[in-house]
Structure 1
Amino acid sequence: MKKVILSAAIVLGSLTTYATVIPNSNLVVKSIILQEEYTEVKLEEVPEAVMKALKVAYPDAVLNAAFVNAKKEYKLDVTVGETKGNLFADENGKWIQQ
């Protein structure tokens, strides 16, 4: 009888090793960031339409720097009060969501 109980304990004990869950730690995350290539331009070279749109939308904004890409889209580094941020506009002064 001892052999039957011992055999049953060994069989049941060996089955528990198959029931364990092994965590999968081979998580691979790929992220691709596409960024338009902007080149800095002088503030005097920013089109009048863009400057007018900036003054209408944000009268208290101070233009710190301006950048342009191949599509003639402008990235404007502005400061409004104590808040700094970027605005995007096309050469006609229309705002672009980025």
Structure 2
Amino acid sequence: MKKLIFSAAIVFASLSMHAAPVVAVTETGISVNVQDEYTEVAADAVPAAVKSTIEKSFPGTKLVKAYKNEKNEYKLEIASGEKKYTVFTDASGNIIKK
């Protein structure tokens, strides 16, 4: 009986030696979206070349909002029915990205 108790004690002692505390490591990431600052401008302030490009490239659309940044680039929100699009142009009316 003594051998059985002694064997059980040795088994439990060896199991507890391998037990290690669980350390949870969490990483926090910060996502930064760098974007030029655009300020809203009136539709009348948008150059004629930009308006002409929008009319030719996107027929049947309506200019909803216009924004301008320090580089003299325009962010235009246009709509066609229920669909809305954002178009970027420079002051000359060249489309930067759609």
Q: TM-score range by the shorter chain?
A: 0.7 to 0.9
RMSD, aligned α-carbons:
2.0
For structure 2, which runs of at least 5 residues remain unmatched after alignment? Answer: none
> Matched residues in 1 for 2:91 and 2:40: separation?
15
Residue aligning to 2:67: 67
Q: 1:1-98 residue pairs with structure 2 within 5 A?
A: 1-18=3-20, 21-24=22-25, 26-97=26-97
Percent identical: 30
> Matched residues in 2 for 1:30 and 1:40: separation?
28
How far is the alpha carbon of 1:53 from its aligned partner? 1.0
How far is the alpha carbon of 1:51 from its aligned partner? 1.0
For structure 1, which runs of at least 5 residues remain unmatched after alignment? Answer: none
TM-score with structure 1 length normalisation?
A: 0.81
Runs of 4+ in 1 over 6 A off after TM superposition: none
> Matched residues in 2 for 1:3 and 1:41: separation?
86
Q: Letter of the aligned partner of 2:42 in structure 1? A: K
Number of residue pairs matched by the alignment: 96
Q: Letter of the aligned partner of 2:78 in structure 1? A: V
Q: Letter of the aligned partner of 2:91 in structure 1? A: E
Report Cα offsets for 1:59-84 as digits up to 9, x if no partner.
01100121111100001111012111
> Matched residues in 1 for 2:93 and 2:53: separation?
5
> Matched residues in 1 for 2:93 and 2:36: separation?
19
> Matched residues in 1 for 2:71 and 2:31: separation?
25
